[in-house]
Structure 1
Amino acid sequence: MLGAYRVLVRPPGATRLIVSLLIGRIPIGIFSLAIVLLVRAETGSFAQAGATSAAWAIGAGVLAPIQGRLVDRFGQPAVLIPSTIANALAVIGVLLCARHGAPTWALAAFAFLGGAALPPLGACMRSVWARVFEHDTDARNTAYTFEGIVSEFFFIIGPIIVTVLIALSSTSMALIVAIALSLIGTLGFATGSLSREWRSETIERSAAGALGSPGMRTLMLAIVPTGISFGAIEVAMPAFAVAHGEKAEIAGILLSVMAVSSVLGGIWYGARTWSSPVVERFIVLHVVLAVGTLPLLLADSIPMMAVMIAIAGLALAPSAAAAYLLIDHVAPPGTTTEATTWMMTANVAGAAAGAALAGVIVEVADVRWALVLACAGPVVGAIVSIALRATLKPPAARPAVGATASRSSAGDS
């Protein structure tokens, strides 16, 4: 089954990009947790730690589409190299502010800048895959699934790396290691031949960019509720553990079970050859994801929840891969990277809203209702994708840059 992934290393220069991607994505699972632990350790305040973490997430979510649009316009190295340097300086700023007792606004400001400057390696890698495997849908499907598996894997091992580094040294060391890995991976990626040679299509772009496509707007409307679901799950799992007489930290094990399940589902999905149209596959997988979360409501113990959350995770990576493949189908030409970052932003925004809503629900009602919210998200997303299926089609082609001027000149003569 894993042999299907060999296609990814066949294009010249692909191995370098994959290795650089793996190095550069490790900090995904380190930065936010290490920042929370650092600020809490240095200031003694959970409020400051929470505000700093929120600022990081907001910066990453809000600025990602802007970075994506810049990549589409100016190329990958022109954005990746300044981004990783700015990210490193901002994280150092957080570290110094925490150590010297800076006010919350200063910590939040540097964290916002750090999140905003996170190098869009995942989006850039997907854009490269889209170009390299332009005429091979199966290979693109495998490539997008691989990228999703990488993200899940590093979310699993990131906290482990943080724990080990803190045990061996300190939270500061965890952040310094993350900075170093981000710099090495991003610079290695940006200077690779496939990244340097990649160019977005030279077309006339609308002011709306990727969201100028009705299909992209539908995709965002379907993805946000799913993000709400997983934001709610992150809050509901600690509450569920406490409600069943365990420590809140047990939630980490439950969430890791879900991530591992997603990885296994992704490996299976990416290794298969699919003949069904991507629109149909996206909708079916979204429905499977929705159905898979419903058993969470049946769990009445920690072991049962571990089983149910494993079921919920199986379709996560496959549905995400189908969504990224659908982007190639519905995004306006020349907006591939921006479109990918919009999907990431939709996930982040949904997760933030889901976490906030679930927190309130747990406080005023019961964890069971937070799980209802978690189950409702994918159901709403599936309904949206089915109801607006007609919009999930390629947008009208826009003229190439220079074509408008040429037509105008011809008309004047």
Structure 2
Amino acid sequence: MLFSALSGGTMPAIGSLVRARWSHLLHGSPLLHAALAFESVVDEVILVAGPIAVAVLVTGVDPMAGLVLALVCTVAGQTALALQPGTEPPVADAGRHGRGTALTAPGLPLLMVTFIAAGTAGSIIDLGVVAFTEEHGAKAASGWVLGLLALGSAVAGLWYDARPWSSPPERRLAATLPLFTGGTLVFAVAPGVAFLFPAAVLLGLTMAPALIAGFSAVERYVPRHRLTEGMALVTTSMGIGISIGSATAGKVVDLWGPRAALGWAGCWAAAAALAGLMTARRLRRATPAAGEREHARTG
């Protein structure tokens, strides 16, 4: 546990760093929406492919092989990012902007709560599906179900990427999170393992659009000199939610069974939808930070 805590505590928020770079490079360009969507699709692919690759290495090569692969990928990815200084956002001038924090940006604390709840729901779904399929004597099916969930999310992300959106991201966030809640609750009422497959596709179709809308809201409303911090806070919020889900799902399964755990995920998804609605209402009264960012770019 100590080494796990040290590993997590020293791991840079690569996703937020990359998104901040895209926002810097493509600010004001219609390609920014596509870049943020692409990042969400990549995240989904990694979340599925990573555990599968590690499981194959651990069972077929050596128990340490999975850790070695993780170490190699971590070092290679961080080094590749560090060797691209030309894509870095400019360092904020503390004298000009003040020290402050991105937490003062409109709606960001509520958006963090939204991502915590969504991350918790997603994590519980992952563990609940494994427990549900094991209870029904089809544990091997869990990998296929979760794979379909990621595939549905990737397809939705690519579709979302290909469309120009005129509505603001907070409105899209408020619209997609209730669909995410509905998709989560479908798992809780599944009569059998076969029902999990279409449920996974439906849930996956709502995940990437919700994440993309959330990060787009950060890019729109957080001042440019606080953008990396804002992206990191939202990414960390998702990680906190995943940790909460992992810590509570097993206990719920042990006490009340897999179906109760899937229902527990639905409760968290509903909390995410409520927090997303509150975020949207807060941001409707806010002024986008685009003007301040443009000033920072030209000044």
TM-score, with structure 2 as normaliser: 0.87
Query: What residue number does 2:6 align with?
Result: 113
**Pairs within 5 Å for 1:11-410:** 52=1, 108=2, 110-136=3-29, 138-166=30-58, 169-195=61-87, 197-202=88-93, 203-207=96-100, 209-247=101-139, 249-392=140-283, 393-394=286-287
Task: Answer yes or no: is the 8 Å Cα contact 2:102–2:229 preserved in 1.
Answer: yes
Distance 1:332 1:361, change over 3 A: same
Q: Structure 1 stretch 265-274 or stretch 158-167: which is displaced more? A: 158-167
Query: What residue number does 1:81 align with?
Result: none
Number of residue pairs matched by the alignment = 289
Q: CA deviation at 1:395?
A: 7.6
Task: Answer yes or no: is the 8 Å Cα contact 2:15–2:235 preserved in 1.
Answer: no
Task: Answer yes or no: is the 8 Å Cα contact 2:54–2:69 preserved in 1.
Answer: no
Q: CA deviation at 1:162?
A: 2.0
Q: CA deviation at 1:200?
A: 4.0
Cα distance in 1, alignment partners of residues 213 and 10 from structure 2: 27
Q: Which amino acid aligns with 2:18?
A: M
Cα distance in 2, alignment partners of residues 168 and 376 from structure 1: 38
Q: CA deviation at 1:266?
A: 0.8
Task: Answer yes or no: is the 8 Å Cα contact 1:282–1:323 preserved in 2.
Answer: yes
Distance 1:324 1:169, change over 3 A: same
Distance 1:251 1:275, change over 3 A: same
Q: CA deviation at 1:189?
A: 2.0
TM-score, with structure 1 as normaliser: 0.64
Identity across matched positions, percent: 27
Q: Which amino acid aligns with 1:124?
A: L
RMSD after superposition: 2.5
Q: CA deviation at 1:144?
A: 0.8
Task: Answer yes or no: is the 8 Å Cα contact 2:37–2:158 preserved in 1.
Answer: yes
Task: Answer yes or no: is the 8 Å Cα contact 1:213–1:332 preserved in 2.
Answer: yes
Cα distance in 1, alignment partners of residues 51 and 289 from structure 2: 44
- SS of the equivalent of 1:315 reads helix
Q: Which amino acid aligns with 1:181?
A: C
Query: What residue number does 2:296 align with?
Result: none
Q: Which runs of 5+ in 1 are unaligned?
A: 1-51, 53-107, 401-413
CA deviation map 1:24-69 (0-9, x unaligned):
xxxxxxxxxxxxxxxxxxxxxxxxxxxx3xxxxxxxxxxxxxxxxx
Q: Which runs of 5+ in 2 are unaligned?
A: 294-299
Cα distance in 2, alignment partners of residues 298 and 239 from structure 1: 15
Q: CA deviation at 1:291?
A: 2.5
- SS of the equivalent of 2:191 reads coil
Q: Which has the larger radius of gyration?
A: 1
Q: CA deviation at 1:252?
A: 2.6
Cα distance in 2, alignment partners of residues 264 and 314 from structure 1: 7
Task: Answer yes or no: is the 8 Å Cα contact 2:153–2:205 preserved in 1.
Answer: yes
Task: Answer yes or no: is the 8 Å Cα contact 1:128–1:194 preserved in 2.
Answer: no
- SS of the equivalent of 2:179 reads helix
Task: Answer yes or no: is the 8 Å Cα contact 2:184–2:262 preserved in 1.
Answer: no
CA deviation map 1:351-407 (0-9, x unaligned):
22223333222222232221111112222222222234332234889x99xxxxxxx
Higher relative contact order (CA 8 A, sep 6+): 2
Q: Which amino acid aligns with 1:302?
A: V
- SS of the equivalent of 2:76 reads helix
Cα distance in 2, alignment partners of residues 218 and 336 from structure 1: 16
Task: Answer yes or no: is the 8 Å Cα contact 1:215–1:395 preserved in 2.
Answer: no
